[in-house]
Amino acid sequence: MLKLYLITLNCFLAIICYLITFEIYKIFNYYRLISYKLPYNQKTLEKTINLSKVYMNYKEWLFSIFTLEKYIQYNYISLSKPCNTLGFCYYNTKNYNFAEYYYNKAIDKEPNNTIFLSNLAEIYVMNKEYQKAKQIYEKVINIDKNNKKAERQLLIINRLI
**pLDDT tens string 62-121:** 888 888 888 777 766 668 888 999 999 999 999 999 999 999 999 999 999 999 999 999
User: Backbone phi, then psi, for 24, in 5-degree steps?
Assistant: -65, -40
Average of per-residue pLDDT values in the chain: 86
CA dist., res. 11 & res. 125, Å (int): 45
Q: Work out the pLDDT band at 35, boundaries 50, 70, 90.
A: low
From the CB of residue 91, how many other CB atoms can be counted at a distance below 10 Å?
20
Q: In the chain, helix, strand, coil percent, each to 5? A: 80, 0, 20
Encode 110-149: b = buried (16+ Cβ within 10 Å), e = exposed.
Answer: beebbebbbbbbbbbbeeeebeebbebbebbbeeeeebee
**pLDDT reported for residue 110:** 93
pTM given for the model: 0.73
**pLDDT reported for residue 73:** 77
Q: Work out the pLDDT band at 141, boundaries 50, 70, 90.
A: very high
Q: Please state the length of the chain.
A: 161
**pLDDT reported for residue 138:** 95
Terminal CA-CA length for the chain: 60
